Amino acid sequence: MLRSALTQMKAKNLAAGKHADGQGLWLVKRDKDAGKWILRVTIHGRRREMGLGPWPDVSIAEARSRAEDARRKVRDGEDPVEARASHRRRAKRLTVKEAILGCFEARQAELKGDGSAGRWLSPMTVHVIPAIGRLAVEDVDQHVLKRMMEPIWHDKPDTARKAMNRINLTLKHAAALGLDVDLQAPMKARALLGKQRHVVEHVPSIPYAEAPAFYRMLCGKTYMSCFALRFLMLTAARTSEIRFARRDDLAGEVLIIPADRTKTGNEHRIPLGEEALRVVAEAPRVGDGDLLFPSPRGMVMSDATMARFMEREGYAARPHGFRSTFRTWVEECTDAPYEVKEACLGHVVDGAVARAYQRSDRLERRRELMDRWAGFLTSS
């Protein structure tokens, strides 16, 4: 093969096809008037093809110059194809919004329901993206984060904490893409913002001594929210676990909450006593749906429905507070082991090593305790 076999006139007169210029440089013509330059090189023992631009916009002389630059990189042990791709990625300037969405997509499999509830993205779409979404992620530093977080740092500390943690994950995602980001920016921003001035407020609950009277009041109501509240109290489950509970989750005298509907990501079996089964049997059926406690339209009950009922009845407590009511009662009125008490709430009580050998979820011991709790609620 001759070196520099092509001339401008010869290239113009060539038919469609591949035409060699020499030393791995080829002109690939699509038709008489258009084509592209290709360089074939061997990089680390692997044959690669590298585009050098369109013909005739890129002249023969320019194509040869680009080819020589690429061959020089190969001789120096570099990969010109990867070097150009890296340059293009840097030139694109990935925005904060794009980095956040890319990080979310990469983490979806770790989130409940692939993150369909939107909780992971919520603080980002509300507070981060509107403020700095168009900024290049490589330009994010502690001062940018400080300015963005100041309005919510003390007033909405939990939201600010979640947003900062997810910014940290986003920066790590961008670093994995090969971008030059400051991974310490969130830590430095926290130092600039200082300690959050916020007193943790627990979900208000009903004292356990008043729980039987409240339960008795519920028994006199026929609202679906009242049946759901009774079941919630009897099982000490989380509100979402009751709202989404289905009839096919029932296995005899056990309600099985699938892993994707639990906070821990582990399947949770809840023993059901006579009173709990009676509530399920007495709850009105709505349409052909499979939900245990559906809304009037047969859909999943709103997360505010039970709370609104308690408000109308003059209670400051919230449905989630019944877990605290149960936990306080079981602590003060029983001698149940710590592991059983916590397991009733669906908490993980064993370490990873212990769980590898101790695989029981203490169902029968929990059943005894929950039967005592149901007896207490229905005692007056």
Q: Is the CB of residue 370 less than 8 Å from the CB of residue 233? A: no
Would you say domain 8-90 falls under CATH 3.30.160.390?
yes
Taking Cα atoms as reference points, which of 170, 158, 164, 233 lies closest to residue 198?
A: 158
| pTM confidence score | 0.59
332-346 pLDDT, tens digit each? 999 999 999 999 998
Q: Given this chain, do its domains 8-90 and 96-193 carry the same CATH topology?
A: no
Q: What is the structure's pLDDT at 111?
A: 77
Average pLDDT over residues 73-83: 80
Residues 200-218, mean pLDDT to the nearest whole number: 88
Q: What is the CATH number of domain 208-377?
A: 1.10.443.10
Positive or negative: CA dihedral 162, 165, 170, 176:
negative
- Spell out the domain ranges in the chain: 8-90, 96-193, 208-377
- Kindly state which CATH superfamily the domain 96-193 is placed in: Tyrosine recombinase, N-terminal domain (1.10.150.130)
- Condensed to tens digits (0 to 9), the pLDDT of residues 180-196 reads 899 999 999 999 999 98
Query: What is the pLDDT confidence band of residue 231, given thresholds at 50, 70 and 90?
Result: very high
Does 117 have pLDDT greater than 70? Answer: no
Query: Which region among 120-129, 143-152, 207-216, 342-351 has the lowest average model confidence (pLDDT)?
Result: 342-351
Report the pLDDT averaged over residues 271-297.
91
Q: What does the block give as tokens for 269?
A: 């079996």
Give the pLDDT confidence score for residue 1 in this predicted structure: 42
Run of H or E residues at 153 = helix 142-153
Measured CA to CA, the distance from residue 371 to residue 38 in angstroms comes to 78
| pLDDT at residue number 98 | 94
Task: Give the type of residue at 358.
Answer: Q
